Amino acid sequence: MTQAILIDIGNGDWLSGMRSFLATLMEKAGIEAVLVPTGLTVKNRIMPTLVSDPARLAQADPLSPAFPVNGAQQLAKLTRQPAGGRLAAVLRPCEIRAFNELVKLNQGQRDDVVIVGLDCPGAFSNSAFRNFADQYETADAATQAFCADLAAGETGREALPFSAACRACSHPVPTGADIIVECFSADPTGGLTARAITEIGETVLTGLDLPPAGEAALQRKTVINTTLASRTQYREQMFASVAQATGSIQGLSTYLADCVNCYNCRTACPVCYCTTCVFSTDTFHHEPFQYLQWARRKGSAKMPTDTLFFHLTRMAHISTACVGCGQCTNACPNDIPLADLFSYVAQQTQTAFGYGAGLDPSQRPPMCGFEEKEYDEVVGLN
């Protein structure tokens, strides 16, 4: 039986409560450092930061709607090899699922890391966050305003500029965390609750000596169900729009027409992990005479070349591991809604394999093993 405890925040100040909780975690759970979104010295900018000094947690801001990068990439860097101390990481649900996929691909390890997941109401794109945060003098003030809008219920949430990926996300509750901070069940005027999900999480919470919390299961279930219903409707509309727009090669070419081969989407994608991408090799470093041949053959040749091929290749490589975090869209300089397309393709691919990226750490990724009976309608019966 897992244990729920009260995070004593006082006066409804969720942000101070989270900072106090993380400081207690470092002090009493033997945590050497915490990977957590933290305010930078630059005004109102937030990035994942590895904090080893508990005093620096005064700038931690895990409740902010900022989502500049997927933290799974950073946690993988910290866990590929032993780091020399026990770590904690505060992650969104999509970040946890991406990290689970990276662990399966031997890009990171769960040893010596305690994952703290937060219920996720959603995040903003980089540009939307800048516009929102710059209305306030400090990042703390922006986060407090964001939390106040959330506390206002559905009306407050609807007014917030959540990204399309977040509006379509079907997994707002952390899966695979050791500890969940239950923001969805929180009383805005009271305290947040934290619940252990694993034995490691329960051991950690028990050692913090914080008072037990009362159950808010009914309230939590209501908020989650309302959130999922809204997101399901949005996702179905989004997928229908993508299917109509990309149902042909011409349509797909039009959808991706603004691509300039900057590869930002590849860099931002948490599960696109190859050290050397084929598109960075000599295979796609064409000789000048090849460009001229292509131009002669058709009368002209669009440059840069291979833009459509690049995205088709990425779909083939990562559609089984895509967690729909939206960072590909966030990183695109030309605002191509890449996440809409990749989520649409990933949903079909993962459904076909009966797989949910990052949801079950013990489930093997598709095509990593042989099944005696699989896709008989394609390969035929023995």
Per-10-residue mean pLDDT for the chain, 382 residues long?
68 84 93 96 89 96 96 96 93 97 94 94 95 92 88 71 95 93 71 87 89 69 89 96 96 96 95 89 90 92 92 94 97 97 96 94 84 67 56
Q: Which helix (H) or strand (E) holds 79?
A: helix 71-79
Residues in contact with 67: Cβ distance below 8 Å, sequence separation at least 6, in sequence order:
92, 123, 124, 129, 163, 325, 326, 327, 330
Bridge partners of 193, per DSSP, are 6
Cα angle 302-307-358, degrees, rounded to a multiple of 5 = 170
| CB contact at 8 A, 34 and 26 | yes
Alpha-carbon gap, residue 263 to 283, rounded angstroms: 16
Place of tokens 């900018």: 45
**Which two tokens mark 323?**
């967690």
Q: What is the pLDDT of residue 381?
A: 58
Alpha-carbon gap, residue 185 to 221, rounded angstroms: 8
| CB contact at 8 A, 42 and 48 | no
Q: What is the pLDDT of residue 110?
A: 92
Place of tokens 């079950």: 360
pTM above 0.85, yes or no: yes
> Strand order in 87-91's β-sheet?
4-7, 192-196, 179-181, 113-118, 87-91, 33-39, 46-51
Classify each residue of 243-254 as buried b or exposed e, where b means 16 or more C-beta atoms within 10 Å of its C-beta.
eebbeeeeebee
Alpha-carbon gap, residue 187 to 358, rounded angstroms: 30
| CB contact at 8 A, 272 and 340 | no
Q: What is the pLDDT of residue 280?
A: 87
Alpha-carbon gap, residue 187 to 200, rounded angstroms: 27
Beta strands 179-181 and 192-196: pairing type?
Answer: antiparallel
Q: What is the pLDDT of residue 215?
A: 61
Alpha-carbon gap, residue 174 to 250, rounded angstroms: 39
Q: What is the pLDDT of residue 148?
A: 83
Q: What is the pLDDT of residue 23?
A: 94
Classify each residue of 51-88 as buried b or exposed e, where b means 16 or more C-beta atoms within 10 Å of its C-beta.
beebebbebbbbbbbbbbbbbbbbbbebbeeebeeebb
